[in-house]
Structure 1
């Protein structure tokens, strides 16, 4: 995912430093172009499985008949080859297209009785090492990481671990998503589609992410791994608060 790039540090001699690789990938489903994404190279099958799932194009990994990965192209054939697909979002436009918002009534609500402890959160975050400038996302259960991915974009990394979970038949309702960076409404949406009840990040959530999570039952924990760690929504899912 990295290669050496020459540079001249302001305070030193010429050297070479690691630079993250990025690659465009055109996604075709049943012979039709769906979209083109920019992501880190490698493990495309996990990514495409998670991406098609969180875009609600497939309902399970079993709906994928085959995946062919060529340079800058990911071709997917589903079991229903005549199905026309498109990227589906729950973001709607208001009058004149001036206002955009997420229609939470079109999103699934979390249906899980999972509760987590502060030590479990801390253990999962401690295991979430990353190679800067990449973002990392993991799925954890009981504080133990069960799937992990890095990418240029944390949304892609989340799709990768969801894809891995689908391929390994993980019960998402018993897992916690742990990641780096800002928690966005799009990350909340992906967790809701997968049924992941807790989303933890080393960064802060956006105001919209908090609003959507509060309405749909998702627990958000921000600034994890720091003295500023805080629960933003559905604190009932985190026990030992203040311990």
Structure 2
């Protein structure tokens, strides 16, 4: 997922030539039933989980059972579905940064969370500390980490230059392994955006946590749909922005 690239470093006193670890970024073209669906700028490897998660969260498929085959050839992934005439919508280019194409957020058409999951602050903070560590991130500083967990274990961890890609990867893993998403939650190293919230809603994941910030639209969307958003989960503290009842003890807060 990374390789060494020569550069000139200034250390405050002088210059030196070094080889620095730089994360890889690849254009990956997705074809569904022979038609170009989108191109994603993403990290290499494990495209199958990403494809299943992406097609599901974009509501192109209802589950992995609708996929006949996935064929990976270098930077091209070809998917054959059980319905070869399935509409895939407008072609997209999904960028690795914040300016990528995202789905339109219409809260009236979004599903609402159906889940009895509750967690403790200690569980959330412990999850953030345990899963959001990465040798690749330490070496390059250039990847996001997203983990899917339940109250007992870490189910899947994905790293990608795009946090949305990483979320699709763990959702795809969960779909391919029969995970009940209503009993899970997501932890992300990056900011929680409205698109991250939308993907969790489609999968019926009731809680999303970040060690960083969230956006106002993410919170507004989550509030209307039953999703719990937790941000700045680090240093023994966290902020609960929506549906605090899912975090044990939050309802007994001191005014």
Superposed pair shares fold, TM > 0.5:
yes
CA shift, 1:80, in A, is: 1.1
Asked whether the 8 Å contact 1:123–1:143 carries over to 2, the reply is: no
In structure 1, stretches of 5+ residues that fail to align are 90-99
Structure 1 segment 154-173 matched on structure 2, within 5 A: 154-173=163-182
Q: Does 1:106 align with 2:109?
A: yes
Q: Does 1:125 align with 2:134?
A: no
Count of residues in Structure 1 that have an aligned counterpart in Structure 2 = 233
Between the aligned partners of 1:66 and 1:16, the Cα distance in structure 2 is 40
Residue 119 of structure 1: SS of its match in structure 2?
A: helix
Between the aligned partners of 1:34 and 1:147, the Cα distance in structure 2 is 26
CA shift, 1:160, in A, is: 0.2
Matching residue within 8, 16, 21 for 1:13 = 16
Asked whether the 8 Å contact 2:36–2:91 carries over to 1, the reply is: no
Deviations 1:47-94 (A, max 9, x none): 0000000000000111110000012111000011122322599xxxxx
Query: 2:81 — aligned with what?
Result: 78
Asked whether the 8 Å contact 2:227–2:243 carries over to 1, the reply is: yes
CA shift, 1:120, in A, is: 1.1
Q: Does 1:195 align with 2:204?
A: yes
In structure 2, stretches of 5+ residues that fail to align are 93-102
CA shift, 1:127, in A, is: 1.8
Structure 1 pair 163–101 and aligned structure 2 pair: CA distance change class (3 A): closer
Structure 1 segment 214-229 matched on structure 2, within 5 A: 214-229=223-238
Asked whether the 8 Å contact 1:124–1:143 carries over to 2, the reply is: no
CA shift, 1:164, in A, is: 0.2
Between the aligned partners of 1:158 and 1:87, the Cα distance in structure 2 is 21
Structure 1 segment 1-243 matched on structure 2, within 5 A: 1-11=1-11, 12-86=15-89, 102-128=105-131, 129-130=133-134, 131=137, 132-142=141-151, 144-241=153-250
Structure 1 pair 5–143 and aligned structure 2 pair: CA distance change class (3 A): farther
Asked whether the 8 Å contact 2:113–2:205 carries over to 1, the reply is: yes
Residue 41 of structure 2: SS of its match in structure 1?
A: strand
